[in-house]
Amino acid sequence: MASNTIGFDLERIGLNSVIRAAHEVQAYSNASTIETLEDQLFHDSVCRQMFIESIVVPESWLFREPKVFQHINILLCERLKNQSGVKILSAPCANGEEACSIALSLLESGRSQNQFRIIATDISRYAIKQAQSGIFSENAFRSIDETRKNKWFTPTARGWQVAPEIQETVEFLDRNLLHSHTEYELMQKAEGRFDLICCRNLLVYFTKPKRNKLIGTLVRLLKPNGELVVGAAEAVILPARDWEPTGPLTFRLRKQSINSPVVKQKSIQRNTHKKHNFAEVETIQCGYNKPTILFDNVTSTP
């Protein structure tokens, strides 16, 4: 069930974690047999989400792997020299640490809020609720100095509250990246494809078929010259013939591997009611071609 619904490799997750999650659902649903439990996991959305929440551990921290964020900031600032805005996807986003780190970096670099848009997703509704609150525990600051911390965060009884100018630049959504409608919804919300996608420490936990499916989704969500950031253990997962490194754990799809989605011609649109107002907006059609990339030689990490 974990493999079919959220794509996880049970060996990577750990049998004990799966058993614990199943017991929690069983206690809630009073399932008397394994068959009944399995049926509830497939057909009862409450039981299914309970199972997911028990398996997923949304643990991260601000500016995790600082060199990666330095490269991300340089990359995005360079793009902003030639375009009015950049679009970033953080998925999975955990409690919002990665998305807020990117926003903080861009604001520190003198970029304004209307020059970038960040959409952040996670399969955990609990994690998204926490991310939307903008509250971070002390543990999230292990890679950030006190000066930066005190400038952008305010101590509260619940933890450290991120500054409104950071929080306002990120839209948090609970979504499953393996669902086909999620891909189209993200493109609609972003009004086009993404300049940068951060998908760190997710591929390594997926089964090979689901991993290949997710890579295909990421390809279609990226602009032709967009870049993908992965986790430290995931660089070997991306097929070298299709992806070229551009920085620390950052990759760009090789030109010969690109088969762009079908899109309408770009049109100039302005909407004074929207906070994020990019000069050029890509209007996406519902149907688009899948890339012709083959992922038959994807290997698991040691």
**3-class DSSP state of 11:** helix
Q: Which of 29-33, 196-200, 270-274 comes out lowest in average pLDDT?
A: 270-274
Looking at the chain, the whole-number percentage of residues with pLDDT higher than 70 is 82
Whole-number Å distance between alpha carbons of 133 and 183: 25
Q: Distances in Å between the alpha carbon of 154 and those of 111, 134, 160, 161, 200?
A: 22, 11, 5, 5, 28
> Rg of the chain over CA atoms, in angstroms?
20
List pLDDT tens digits, range 110-158.
999 999 999 999 999 999 999 999 999 999 999 999 999 999 999 999 9
Whole-number Å distance between alpha carbons of 106 and 71: 12
Tokens coding 123: 């399969």
Closest CA to 125 of 170, 79, 92, 90: 92
Asked if 61 and 99 count as a contact pair (C-beta separation under 8 A), the reply is no
Domain 66-281: top CATH class: alpha beta
Whole-number Å distance between alpha carbons of 12 and 6: 13
Tokens coding 163: 């500054």
Length of the chain counted residue by residue: 302
Q: Taking 50 as the threshold, does the pLDDT of residue 285 lie above it?
A: no
Tokens coding 10: 């049970």
Query: What is the domain partition of the chain in residue ranges?
Result: 2-55, 66-281
Write down the pTM of the prediction.
0.80
Q: What is the dihedral of CA 179, 184, 190, 196, to 10 degrees?
A: 60
The pLDDT of residue 36 is 83
List pLDDT tens digits, range 21-73.
888 888 888 888 888 888 888 888 888 888 888 888 777 899 999 999 999 99
Whole-number Å distance between alpha carbons of 88 and 192: 11
Angle between helices 125-133 and 45-55 (to 10 degrees): 70
